[in-house]
Each structure stands twice: as C-alpha cells, then as structure tokens.
C-alpha cells in the first residue's frame, strides 16, 4: 500500500525551459517521484482537473513503486516532432532528430492558416520521407477534408492524427478521405479509451503512458486493439520518455515510429540528453541527475501547487 506521505517525501518539482512554444507553453512543469522501484513522473497539464489528472498520478506511482515489465526489443524508432514553426525554421528543428525517417508535424495551430501548414509540411517533406500531421482536434470535418487534400498535394501522409474532436467526426473524416486517421485525444481523454476503435473511427491508435495510468495499463489497452499502435509522449521529461520507451519495447509488434523524441524540445532536462542513433532510442527507464533536479527546481510556491494537486487527486486513485 503506497502512502501519500511517502510520495510527498520523495517528490521533486521541476520547471523545464523549452526551445519553442509547444501546446501554448514555453516552460514545462512536472513533478517526479524518487520511488523504491524507480522514478515516476506526474506531469498532467496544469489545466487538467483532478479526475483527469489522477490517471497521470497513477502512472507516476506505478513507475515509482512497481517493477517494470520486461521489454521485447531494445531500441525504438522515433519520429521527429515539428511544432507549428515557420517553414524556414523546419531545418533547425529536424537537425535535433538525427536519423529520423518519420516526422510528425503540428498543424491547425490557432492564429495560423492552412497555407502555413502546407508550407511547413512541404519543408519537412524535403528532408524526411514519411510525414504525419497532428491537428489536436483543431478542425471541423469539412476543414479536415480540405486540409487532407491540400497537405497531400505534394506527397502522401502517413496519417492525420486527431483531425477533429469527437469520435463521430473522426469516423466521418475517415469515410471522406483516403489518408489514414489516427486517434489520440479520443483515446487518452475518453471515459472508454476503446470506444474510438470499436466505432471504426481510426486506423491507428496513439497511446500515451501517463494519461492511460501507466505502462501496464497502456499495454492492457493495446492488447485489446486490433489496429496499429504508436506510443507517444505527453511532453514528458526524460523520466516520462523512458516510461514510454519501455512501453513501446514491451509491445508484441511495433510497425510505426513512436513519438518519443520530444526531449529535444527542452533546453534543459532532468537527465543528460540521449542522441538518437539511426533514428532510434534505447528502450530503458531513465534515472535523473540530482544536480539537474536541483538546478531546475521549481519555486516553492509552484512546488506547493503540485503538492496540493497530488492531495486533490489522491482520493480518486483506484
């Protein structure tokens, strides 16, 4: 039985500066737990209320207090992640993902246009052979259909990730376009994460360890899915990325590159960066550097905010 007092005693809260704005932020706060079995990360985005954030806390506790499952592969292919930057900034972003043969490009950014998205995708396509895009639910069905046509004029897309918000909308987009549709938020933010698959609304399932309650919880969901799985990060620190790499390493099959290279979006992280080799990262958990934890420590008021948040989530843990 894990005790709240023990979790709080083992807690560190860090603030990680980012190279570019991503999900509207330039500083990423996470709480990490130095547990008896390893390090766990609680990084639910600050706008998430306790019922949703509690899944992320469950993931952190599982990593900190329970043994890891055994991996079936020792290295994981990763995609480059390209934020909603101007097209001319794309080469600098891609340079941080040596050897990556797949890139995920953020699109449908508020304040930008479809022409901006097309220019960004074409700039990526000039250097990387396989391109996928992620709209984070930012389009209507008609906008998604138009975007699919515009974004494939210069070449194919591996898939459209979460083009619209709802499962019925995803299903309609899937009927109207030839590009495969991937589901992310419709899985990780759903009361029933399998609903989107049962509804025939996705060709690919994007699974993230923390929102689904941990590595084993994610693997249990993956075992019930009959479409390809892509393991991705939730803007995790190196600790959370390590959990994702372990999860990807445990899957019986892995046919797509995973979105686990987002550590390069940080200026500083809790562990020394691991450079991809031939577009792959090792499937192993991460132990942070204590000097980095100290240097990146969040101010006392922010540490208390995370402590209060853990207290609010604690009664919701199953």
- In this structure, are 108 and 159 located in the same domain? yes
Q: How many domains does the chain have?
A: 2
Position 316 scores a pLDDT of 97
Same-domain check for residues 139 and 9: no
User: What pLDDT is recorded for position 192?
Assistant: 84
92-130 confidence digits (pLDDT tens): 999 989 899 999 999 999 999 999 999 999 999 999 999
Put residue 23 in one of left, alpha, beta given phi > 0 → left and psi -120 to 50 → alpha. left
Are the C-beta atoms of 210 and 63 separated by less than 8 Å?
A: no
Please indicate, yes or no, whether residues 42 and 134 belong to a single structural domain of this protein.
Answer: no
* pLDDT confidence of residue 310: 98
| Per-residue pLDDT, 289 | 97
User: pLDDT tens digits for 281-299?
Assistant: 999 999 999 999 999 999 9
CATH assignment at residue 274: 3.20.20.120
Is 303 found in the same domain as 235? Answer: no
pTM above 0.85, yes or no: yes
Contacts (Cβ under 8 Å, ≥6 apart) of 274: 238, 263, 281, 282
In the predicted model, what is the mean pLDDT of the chain? 96
Is residue 115 domain-shared with residue 35, that is, in the same domain? no
Active site residue 106: yes
On whether 184 is known to bind a ligand per the annotation, the reply is yes
Tell whether 80 and 143 lie within a shared domain: yes
Confidence of residue 188 (pLDDT cuts 50, 70, 90): confident
Q: Is 161 annotated as a binding residue?
A: yes
Q: Which of 208, 280, 292, 303 is catalytic?
A: 208
pLDDT band at residue 193, thresholds of 50, 70 and 90? confident
Q: What are 236-274's pLDDT values in tens digits?
A: 999 999 999 999 999 999 999 999 999 988 999 999 999
Return d(Cα 235, Cα 228) in angstroms, integer.
22
Same domain, 180 and 45: no
* pLDDT tens profile 46-71: 999 999 999 999 999 999 999 999 99
pLDDT of residue 318 exceeding 80:
no
274 in the same domain as 245: yes
Is there a single domain that holds both residue 178 and residue 301? Answer: no
pLDDT at 190 over 80: no
pLDDT band at 20 (very low <50, low <70, confident <90, very high): confident
Catalytic choice (12, 28, 104, 106): 106
- List, for residues 135-184, the tens digit of each pLDDT value: 999 999 999 999 999 999 999 999 999 999 999 999 999 999 999 999 99
Answer yes or no: 208 catalytic.
Answer: yes
Its domain, for residue 262, covers 75-282
Question: Does one domain contain both 86 and 57?
Answer: no
């Amino acid at each position: 039985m894990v005790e709240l007092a023990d979790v709080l005693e083992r807690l560190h809260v860090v603030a990680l500066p980012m190279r570019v704005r991503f999900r509207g932020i330039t500083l990423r706060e996470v709480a990490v737990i130095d547990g008896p079995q390893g390090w766990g990360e609680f990084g639910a985005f600050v706008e998430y209320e306790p019922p949703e954030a509690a899944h992320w806390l469950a993931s952190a506790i599982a990593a900190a207090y329970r043994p890891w499952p055994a991996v079936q592969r020792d290295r994981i292919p990763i995609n480059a992640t390209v934020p909603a930057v101007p097209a001319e900034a794309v080469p600098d972003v891609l340079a941080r993902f040596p050897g990556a043969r797949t890139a995920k490009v953020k699109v449908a950014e508020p304040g930008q246009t479809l022409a901006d998205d097309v220019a960004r995708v074409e700039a990526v396509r000039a250097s990387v052979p396989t391109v996928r895009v992620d709209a984070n639910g930012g389009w209507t069905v008609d906008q998604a259909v138009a975007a699919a046509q515009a974004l494939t004029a210069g070449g194919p897309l591996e898939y459209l990730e979460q083009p619209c918000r709802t499962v019925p909308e995803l299903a309609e987009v899937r009927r109207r376009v030839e590009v495969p549709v991937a589901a992310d938020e419709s899985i990780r933010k759903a009361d029933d994460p399998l609903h989107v698959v049962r509804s025939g609304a996705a060709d690919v399932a994007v699974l993230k360890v923390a929102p689904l309650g941990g590595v084993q919880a994610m693997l249990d969901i993956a075992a019930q899915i009959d479409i390809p799985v892509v393991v991705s990060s939730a803007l995790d620190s190196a600790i959370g990325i390590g959990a994702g790499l372990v999860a990807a390493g445990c899957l019986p099959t892995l046919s797509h590159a995973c979105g686990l290279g987002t550590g390069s979006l940080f200026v500083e992280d809790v562990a020394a960066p691991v450079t991809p080799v031939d577009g792959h990262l090792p499937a192993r958990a991460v132990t942070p550097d204590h000097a980095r934890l100290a240097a990146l420590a969040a101010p006392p008021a922010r540490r208390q905010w995370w402590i209060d948040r853990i207290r609010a989530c604690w009664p919701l843990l199953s």
